Structure 1
Amino acid sequence: MQVNWNHLKLVFLFLTVIALYSFADYRSSQKNVDDIVVKFLGDNDLYLTEASVNKLLIQNYGTVKNRPKEELVLNTIEEVLLSNDMVKNAQVYLTVNGELISKIVQRKPIGRVEGVSKFYLDDMGKRMPMSQNHSARVPIITGKITGKSLEDAYVILNYINEDDFLRKNVIGIHIEEEGKYQLKFRLENFVVNLGGVDNLNEKFKNFMAFYAKAAKDKSLEKYAIVSLEFSNQVVCTKI
């Protein structure tokens, strides 16, 4: 019987690679965590600090640094980070150098509710608590706060944030009642009666045409109320 030495060599090499990999993996699992690195992703990293993240881990998971890597349950650590009201998304992994890397995306507020309860409305339309570390410069929402009116405010804010002029100039939404919303502008004396959230594109198109003409005529300061509630027209009330 002829022995295929090339075949045996390949089998031996394959088994050697597996053994080396298993040994390296075992040695790696026996190492301790040398350092904890927190990375905040995106442009919204103001509401949590690295110290507060480490404190959150210690309080809810225990000490991580100098702990054997094999004892860590990464999914559980991610769940701990996600339990914080300021965290939108979190990813945790270990490096071969013994670092525990936490990549965190913080929630993004787009409006601030000023009522009996004070909180942010985030970019997913959910309530977000105020932060002790930073106060966001976003439009203030006042008036009759209800679940439905906040849903409508979220629709309005999303539209505003898609337009450069509106995003820079609208500083507030006042809820007179469900379906009746009023906008406040940064530099103008007038308020804009928006009505409901129907036909927003048409309403703001009409408003921008009015604003451009009134700015050219230097008559913006003459108006107290600009109403967009009526179909395809802008109705103004002078001071």
Structure 2
Amino acid sequence: MKRSMGYIKAFCVIALVAFLYGFAAERNKGRGIRDIKVHFTDTENLYVTEEVVNKLLIQNNASASSIDKETLDLNKVEDLLNSHEMIENAEVYLTLDGKLRAEVNQRKPIGRVMGNASFYLDKQGELMPLSPFFSARVPMMFGFDGKNVKEAYPVVNYIKNDEFLTSHIVSIQRKPGGHFELELREQDFKVYFGDSTHVATKFNNFKAFYKKAQKDKKLDTYKKVNLQFGDQVVCTKK
């Protein structure tokens, strides 16, 4: 008899816990989202603002408290953020206490095309529109359009990933035949790069030349530096 009573008590406890859990879960579903917070993984430059992301998150500017957690489609909201032209990747989730969170990774420009149509070239080699919120400090690109700009991607991407080159090169110009000419920040000589082959070799040669000429105090004696011949640097004096 005692054993039977023990089973009955245990069953009642389990039933009560299940009821309370179900009640709390059902009540929690009906509540609106208490808070929305956006976190940018890289806050150095904001090409899209938190306000813009918030509007996408709460769908057509509805108030956060009016969004029902049960009807909120996180995948749909995430896809909406990922389709934004300034966002590379976004992850959206709900916390246990009903707060909506978004982790946003922005696209990163590495060059800016100047001309009839102005836009960025991003780190993936794709075209990226200019942002109304921030202007990136990247090399200017002249003589390019949407059809030929990717020709320069190996060159511009290498510059972006090299501290020395980033601090010295301010622009790249496309010449006939798909050859490139670089402009330096502090020197008045032009750097004729040639095409986008053997990029690492050409830039390593250039850096070695620059540092040697700087040490010898001869940088201001040149009017042109030619890197197109692979393993050598050909200089023309003034």
Shared fold (TM-score greater than 0.5)? yes
Q: Distance in 2 between matches of 1:73 and 1:64?
A: 16
* Structure 1 residue identity aligned to 2:79: E
Q: Distance in 1 between matches of 2:15 and 2:190?
A: 77
Q: Distance in 2 between matches of 1:75 and 1:220?
A: 57
Q: Distance in 1 between matches of 2:45 and 2:230?
A: 42
Matches within 5 A, 1:33-182: 33-57=33-57, 60-67=59-66, 68-145=68-145, 147=147, 149-182=148-181
Shift of 1:45: 4.3
**Any conservation in 2 of the 1:144–1:176 contact (CA below 8 Å)?**
no
1:18-49 residue CA offsets vs partner (Å, 9 max, x unmatched): 44433332221111112221211124441122
Q: Distance in 1 between matches of 2:89 and 2:42?
A: 11
Q: Distance in 2 between matches of 1:195 and 1:4?
A: 90
- State the identity as a percent: 42
Q: Distance in 2 between matches of 1:73 and 1:17?
A: 29
* Structure 2 residue identity aligned to 1:138: V
Q: Distance in 2 between matches of 1:53 and 1:144?
A: 31
Q: Distance in 2 between matches of 1:237 and 1:104?
A: 49
* Structure 1 residue identity aligned to 2:211: A
**Any conservation in 2 of the 1:44–1:107 contact (CA below 8 Å)?**
no
1:228 corresponding residue in structure 2: 227
**Any conservation in 2 of the 1:56–1:81 contact (CA below 8 Å)?**
yes
TM-score (norm 2): 0.88
Q: Distance in 1 between matches of 2:226 and 2:194?
A: 8
1:56-115 residue CA offsets vs partner (Å, 9 max, x unmatched): 445x54515112211211111112222321111111112232221122111111110002
**Any conservation in 2 of the 1:61–1:80 contact (CA below 8 Å)?**
no
1:176-217 residue CA offsets vs partner (Å, 9 max, x unmatched): 134301111111111111101111122122212211221112
Is 1:22 matched up with 2:22?
Answer: yes
**Any conservation in 1 of the 2:179–2:194 contact (CA below 8 Å)?**
yes
1:219 corresponding residue in structure 2: 218
Q: Are residues 190 and 16 of structure 1, via their aligned partners in 2, closer, same or farther at CA, if it must alter by over 3 Å?
A: farther
Shift of 1:235: 1.0
- Structure 1 gaps of 5+ residues are none
**Any conservation in 2 of the 1:145–1:175 contact (CA below 8 Å)?**
no
**Any conservation in 1 of the 2:154–2:199 contact (CA below 8 Å)?**
no
Q: Are residues 30 and 218 of structure 1, via their aligned partners in 2, closer, same or farther at CA, if it must alter by over 3 Å?
A: same
Q: Distance in 2 between matches of 1:226 and 1:9?
A: 90
Q: CA RMSD in A?
A: 2.5
Q: Are residues 126 and 12 of structure 1, via their aligned partners in 2, closer, same or farther at CA, if it must alter by over 3 Å?
A: farther
* Structure 1 residue identity aligned to 2:31: K
- Structure 2 gaps of 5+ residues are none
**Any conservation in 2 of the 1:57–1:63 contact (CA below 8 Å)?**
no
Q: Distance in 2 between matches of 1:156 and 1:9?
A: 75
Give the 3-state SS of the residue equivalent to 1:66 in structure 2: helix
Q: Are residues 171 and 48 of structure 1, via their aligned partners in 2, closer, same or farther at CA, if it must alter by over 3 Å?
A: same
**Any conservation in 2 of the 1:28–1:96 contact (CA below 8 Å)?**
no
Shift of 1:145: 3.0
